[in-house]
Structures are given as structure tokens and as C-alpha cells.
């Protein structure tokens, strides 16, 4: 039983989509559950898609750990 409880969060890690938490035309913040120090390819693609809406490209700037095992990535739109 304990093993199943431990493995559940690990199984869910691959199922989580990046979520845009803030966008102001100059930067975009994207949150991932169980994030790492560097953004995943899905997060980079989402940042590129959002910045592309205003005719810009995204550039990774920083990472910030949030509560509840979430990680926020900041991308600049240049």
C-alpha cells in the first residue's frame, strides 16, 4: 500500500501540462507541477507560442520554486 501512495505522484508527473500564470506582452510566467531547475520542452514551446502572439520570441530568464511542489519559469518576450 505504501508503495502505491509513493508512486502515484511520480505517475502524475508526466501528465501535467504547463500553465501560463502571467503575461504582459514583455514577459510570460509559466507554472509546472513537480518542475525541475530547467524548463521542459513543453514549457519552452508554450512560452514561444505565447510570445509569438505578439510577434516576439521567448528567452528563458529564471526559475522560482513555489509552494505545493510547483515551479514558475520566467521567459522574456524579445
**Could you report the per-residue pLDDT of 27-69, keeping only the tens digit for each?**
999 999 987 889 999 999 999 999 999 999 999 999 999 988 8
Higher pLDDT, 62 or 9: 62
The cell 521542459 sits on which residue?
A: 40
Q: How sure is the predictor about 5, in pLDDT bands with cuts at 50, 70 and 90? A: very low
Instruction: Name the CA radius of gyration of the chain, rounded.
Output: 14
Query: Which pLDDT value is given to residue 17?
Result: 86
Q: Parallel, antiparallel, or unpaired: how do β-strands 70-77 and 27-33 relate?
A: antiparallel
Three-class secondary structure of residue 59 per DSSP: strand
pTM of the model: 0.78
Amino acid at each position: 500500500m505504501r508503495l502505491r501512495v509513493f508512486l502515484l505522484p511520480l505517475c502524475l508527473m508526466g501528465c501535467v501540462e504547463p500553465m501560463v500564470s502571467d503575461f504582459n506582452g514583455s514577459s510570460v510566467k509559466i507554472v509546472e507541477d513537480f518542475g525541475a531547475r530547467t524548463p521542459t520542452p513543453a514549457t519552452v514551446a508554450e512560452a514561444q507560442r505565447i510570445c509569438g502572439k505578439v510577434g516576439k520570441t521567448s528567452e528563458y530568464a529564471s526559475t522560482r520554486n513555489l509552494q505545493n511542489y510547483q515551479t514558475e519559469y520566467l521567459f522574456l518576450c524579445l
